[in-house]
A and B are shown apart, each in its own frame.
Chain A
């Protein structure tokens, strides 16, 4: 079955530690995205990538880093510089051309809690 996987579902970390969230897709999509969602809030874009080895900052990139070395994978690192990292993190992908950018497919999300 094609889809997007994120692991782990729940993650706990101590303050000051970097943590990397995994996102893998087997949909053969070119574009991938990372969003942050806080309780009762909408989706805020952290980083996105339209093609391998290229990515752009979204609206709230500070304190986060990404890489896109393979088409299937787009890991997100939450660094210790992120002031308030506790949140629900969602990874998404889209085919990556024309009107298809309107339709994004989301993974199940990772709920990060920093203690």
Chain B
């Protein structure tokens, strides 16, 4: 079966950097995605990695190491509005067309 692991909660102060790790066990790995969800809201897509390396989108970056079955989302210059849950999700060729989501990491930003 497939499994994804990410920390349940991370707390940091405004202006800091937070790294959310995601390790996965899948067969037929195709790509790793990240989503943000504010409390009570809908998830929104942040980034996607299919190849090893770092993808940067403004203050957020995402990294993938296929050989280590590992990725992370890096949040820089944290702002209060970044307080939310962050989910990693994998797409595999074995389950083509659907994403398997992790349980999510709640990021709490304090003043």
Contacts and interface: CB of A to CB of B under 8 A. Distances in A.
Interface residues of A, number: 23
Interface in B61-104: 87, 89, 91, 96-104
Interface in B32-60: 33, 41-45, 48, 50
Interface of A: 31, 33, 41-45, 48, 50, 58, 90, 92, 96, 99, 101-109
B97 A50 contact: yes
B41 A42 contact: no
A102 B43 CA distance: 13
Contacts, number: 55
B97 A101 contact: yes
Contacts of A101: 91, 96-99
Interface centre among A31, A42, A105 (most CB of B within 10 A): A42
B98 A42 contact: no
